[in-house]
Structure 1
Amino acid sequence: MSIVKRVQQWATFARTWYVYDCTWQNPFESALLIKTHLMGLHKPIYHPMNDCGDHVVCINTKEIALPGDEWIKRVYFHHTGYPGGASWTLAWQLHEKDATMIIKKAVYNAMRGNLQRRHTMQRLHLFADDQLPEEILENITNQIRTPREVPQRLDHIDKETLENFPSIMDYPKDYVLR
């Protein structure tokens, strides 16, 4: 076997570490991308009973954006296993308690039908902010592109750029905003 083929085979079977930035991303769309890498669906050697997935590190999970009024309408169910142990929690309350839980539940639900789902979830590493431990940071070799581009906030744009931005119309000096 040539050196090139050997390296190609090693890269196919190796576990790669990906980073995914959750800032302003819909967790349900993100879950489909993350699931692809966790289960190894992007690899040519994928088989449902083959554990060939990669590690995914999700950062900034506290900055997710649910569509519409999902923050107040979406409800998450939990049961302790004891009689009367059922509870329903609104999305904003769950996000306040644990900023990583909505992404975790979205990825877990996206892998419905996967028999190795609990073992696959161990390769998902979630962080509420962008501060990563050194041992995880040194393993990351690739990045998953986000489906939605993050817009730049007006208070982060310098004054010169704002003043030189072309205006649609010039208001008169005595114009009053209501």
Structure 2
Amino acid sequence: MSLVRRAQQWGTMARVWHLYDAKWQDPFESAPLIIKYLKGLYKPIYHPMNDCGDHVVVINSKDIALRGDDWTKRVYFHHTTYAQGATWTLAWELHKKNKTMIVQKAVYHGMKGNLQRRHTMQRLHIFEDDKVPEDILKNINNQIKQLRPIPVRLDHIPQEEIDKFPRVIKYPEDYVLR
């Protein structure tokens, strides 16, 4: 086997580390994208019985965005396996307790039917902010594009850009708002 062919094969079989920024992203829309990289679905050698998935590092999980009133309506179930140990927790309560749990549960639920789900989840690394340990950061060599663009806050737009924006109406100086 030639050196080039061997390098191609090694590159195909190697585990790649991907970075995904969850800021202002819906975790339930992001989960299928993250799962695609965790399971290795994008690789040409993928097979359901083959463990060829990659590592995914998710940052800024404290800044996720849920649709509509999902913060108050979405409920998570947990059972302690003891008698009367069932609890239901609202999304905002769960996020207040643990900033990474909603993203983790969305990805875990998205892999339903996967026999290697628990093993695959060990390659998912979630951080609530952008402070990633140095040993993990040096392994990252790819970034997953966000699904939605992050909106710019009005107080972050420079004054020159606001002044250049075309006006529809110019109010007179003596105009009074009621």
Sort the TM-score into its range (normalised by shorter chain): over 0.9
CA distance in 1, matches of 2:177, 2:91: 37
Shift of 1:145: 0.7
Matched, 1:158 2:154: no
Task: Describe the SS at the equivalent of 1:46.
Answer: coil
Q: For 1:39-90, what per-residue CA distance to the aligned partner results, in whole angstroms no more than 9, with x for missing partners?
A: 1111111111111100000000011110111111000000011111100000
* 2:46 paired residue number: 46
Q: CA 1:177/1:90 → structure 2, altered by over 3 Å: closer, same or farther?
A: farther
* 2:58 paired residue number: 58
CA distance in 2, matches of 1:4, 1:67: 48
CA distance in 2, matches of 1:34, 1:80: 28
Matched, 1:33 2:39: no
CA distance in 2, matches of 1:49, 1:177: 68
Counterpart mapping for 1:123-134 below 5 A: 123-134=123-134
Task: Describe the SS at the equivalent of 1:141.
Answer: strand
* 2:79 paired residue number: 79
The runs of at least 4 aligned residues of structure 1 exceeding 4 Å deviation read: none
Shift of 1:7: 1.4
Q: For 1:114-164, what per-residue CA distance to the aligned partner results, in whole angstroms no more than 9, with x for missing partners?
A: 000000000000000001100000000001111101111111122222222
What is the identity, as a one-letter code, of the residue corresponding to 1:60?
N
CA distance in 2, matches of 1:176, 1:56: 55
* 1:7 paired residue number: 7
Q: Which moved more, 1:43-52 or 1:103-112?
A: 43-52
CA distance in 1, matches of 2:176, 2:7: 69
* 1:110 paired residue number: 110
What is the identity, as a one-letter code, of the residue corresponding to 1:131?
K
Task: Describe the SS at the equivalent of 2:87.
Answer: strand
CA distance in 1, matches of 2:130, 2:39: 24
CA distance in 2, matches of 1:60, 1:140: 16
CA distance in 1, matches of 2:146, 2:13: 25
* 1:93 paired residue number: 93
Aligned residues between the structures: 178
CA distance in 2, matches of 1:77, 1:107: 16
CA distance in 2, matches of 1:176, 1:95: 45
Task: Describe the SS at the equivalent of 1:10.
Answer: helix
Q: Percent identity?
A: 66
* 1:142 paired residue number: 142
Shift of 1:176: 3.7
